[in-house]
Structure 1
Amino acid sequence: MKLSKVSSLLSRVRKVVAFFHRSTVAFAHLKTNQARLDLPKTKLKMDVVTHWNSTYDMLVSYLQLQPAIYATLVSKDVQRNESDVNTLSEGDVRSLEQLLEILRPLKGATEVFCEEKTPTISIVAPMLHLIRSQMIPLEGDYGLMKDVKEVVLTDLGKRYNSTKVKHMLHYSSATDPRFKTVPFLNDEEKSSVFADLATTVAEYSDRHKVPTLVKEVPQDPSAISDTPLPDLPDLPNLSNTGAAGGVGLPPVKQEPVKVPKQTDSSGSLSNLYWDVYVVKMDPPPHQEQTKSSLLSAQEEIEKYVALEC
């Protein structure tokens, strides 16, 4: 973090933690003081630059064991072996507590984004809004707390700024039932997101409509030809019962009918019955016309948003 006061404070904490990691005498005294003061049986953690949240975890472990750390560092046995390690003042401890409070929502955000079992892109926009709202300096904030919040806000302001990225994040949140009302956007931004989403759905629907073959037939029944079909010839007696004098025929071996494989994949009906013909007829007067894809998409989105999950 680009704050000299924070960097100096973290450096001193690291120095104390490193001392207990390398000194067996100090570590033994620390465990004894932990038990005597009835503190959690945990170990001091050292932060690692490449590990997210490691600084937060280091501060948590330090503050949990701070009474035992102080008691150990002021003992004569430890001071005799190490005089370069100093305890933190009460002001330093208060600064650590303030820093920990600021880092807590950032730790929660990174844990959510590290989830591997569920997609997380829809959470990015609402999470950014939540973090920014928590980083706005309050009237009671001063000194270190105010400075750290301003640094975090400035850093977040440089991320996810492109229009394309914003649209992608907003669309992802709008299609996630948990954030479908996009409460982190203002009314104008909400209207823009849902309008663009409806347009995208309508365009996709129009591109993927299944074409049908339309065969026009006359509406006037009198226009249909009533020419009678020619008479069919009489069929011979094919009974295979010899007792009746009929001509005996051997039984016919039935072969399975081979249906030619269709290559047209325009729809389920065409796969079953080849070409699908729909009779084209003019709609009667005052009949409601088919809704456009855009209107249908807008209505579906309104129902989706209003539906309680």
Structure 2
Amino acid sequence: MPTKRLHQDVATRWNSTYHMVESLLEQKRSISAYGADHDLPVTLTANQWALLEKTITVLAPFEELTRQISSSTSSAAEVIPSVTVLKRLLARENEGDTGIKTMKTILLEAVQRRFKTIENEPLYAVATLLDLRFKDRYFKGADSIKHAKDALTREVEKMEALQSRTTPKGSRESARKPP
């Protein structure tokens, strides 16, 4: 087998936990064989390995979202839809280990707390509303959609006001009428 290193968790980078668990699962056979060969007192049980696999399943959307938002081609319009999809994935009920259910609940609460007002941020709201892929599909309700449309209206008014201040008076008429 090729030599590989296990990743270590770093408290300041959440995705390091994902990469650490992923590397453990990739090296499961090697770790188990090493433990057996060296007569280690404690190794992971089958249930613990299964729990790690479920943990990876829960953390995978966070890793994908981080990569997507961090890419050079991402835009502000993708923030609200991404957070909404993440919340939906975490809220989805599935049978299984109570530890995983607890983890999903805690992660969902953290996402809701940190992104509670994301739809009220004019930059993200307007960008999402104007993006043809998303429009108003990812807003929570009528109030959020109205807030986003109001933010868009304010931005258009600002642009019109700026244009009227910077355009010479004689050229305004010619700019409005097609030749």
Contact 1:137 1:150 in 2 (8 A): no
Question: What SS is found at the alignment partner of 1:135?
Answer: helix
Contact 1:160 1:166 in 2 (8 A): no
Rounded to whole Å, the distance in 2 between the matches of 1:156 and 1:277 is 50
Q: Quote the offset at 1:131 in angstroms.
A: 0.6
**Are 1:93 and 2:93 counterparts?**
no
**Are 1:185 and 2:86 counterparts?**
no
Rounded to whole Å, the distance in 1 between the matches of 2:119 and 2:93 is 32
Aligned residues: 174
Q: Deviations over 1:144-180 (max 9, x none)?
A: 111111000111121133488434321121233432x
Q: Hey, what does 2:87 align to over in structure 1?
A: 132
Q: Hey, what does 2:98 align to over in structure 1?
A: 143
Amino acid at match of 2:129: A
Q: Aligned runs of 1:74-93 on 2, under 5 Å?
A: 74-75=36-37, 78-79=38-39, 83-84=40-41, 86-93=42-49
Contact 1:137 1:149 in 2 (8 A): no
Question: What SS is found at the alignment partner of 2:113?
Answer: coil
Contact 1:121 1:169 in 2 (8 A): yes
Amino acid at match of 2:168: G
Contact 1:113 1:120 in 2 (8 A): yes
Q: Hey, what does 2:11 align to over in structure 1?
A: 49
Q: Quote the offset at 1:65 in angstroms.
A: 1.5
Q: Quote the offset at 1:112 in angstroms.
A: 2.1
Rounded to whole Å, the distance in 2 between the matches of 1:106 and 1:164 is 19
Q: Quote the offset at 1:277 in angstroms.
A: 9.3
Q: Deviations over 1:45-69 (max 9, x none)?
A: 2222233411111111111121221
Rounded to whole Å, the distance in 2 between the matches of 1:56 and 1:149 is 14
Q: Hey, what does 1:22 align to over in structure 2?
A: none
Q: Hey, what does 1:66 align to over in structure 2?
A: 28
Rounded to whole Å, the distance in 1 between the matches of 2:34 and 2:173 is 90
Question: Relative contact order (C-alpha < 8 Å, sep 6+): which is higher?
Answer: 2
Q: TM-score, normalised to structure 1's length?
A: 0.48
Q: Quote the offset at 1:195 in angstroms.
A: 4.8
Q: Quote the offset at 1:141 in angstroms.
A: 3.7
Contact 2:80 2:118 in 1 (8 A): no
Q: TM-score, normalised to structure 2's length?
A: 0.79
**Are 1:168 and 2:130 counterparts?**
no
Q: Quote the offset at 1:94 in angstroms.
A: 0.7
Rounded to whole Å, the distance in 2 between the matches of 1:72 and 1:106 is 31
- Structure 2: any 5+ residue segments left out of the alignment? none
Rounded to whole Å, the distance in 2 between the matches of 1:70 and 1:119 is 41
Distance 1:267 1:130, change over 3 A: same
Q: Quote the offset at 1:96 in angstroms.
A: 0.5
Compare the two structures and name the one with the higher helix fraction: 2
Q: Hey, what does 1:267 align to over in structure 2?
A: 168
Q: Hey, what does 2:107 align to over in structure 1?
A: 152
Distance 1:191 1:93, change over 3 A: same
Rounded to whole Å, the distance in 2 between the matches of 1:61 and 1:163 is 33
Distance 1:155 1:125, change over 3 A: same
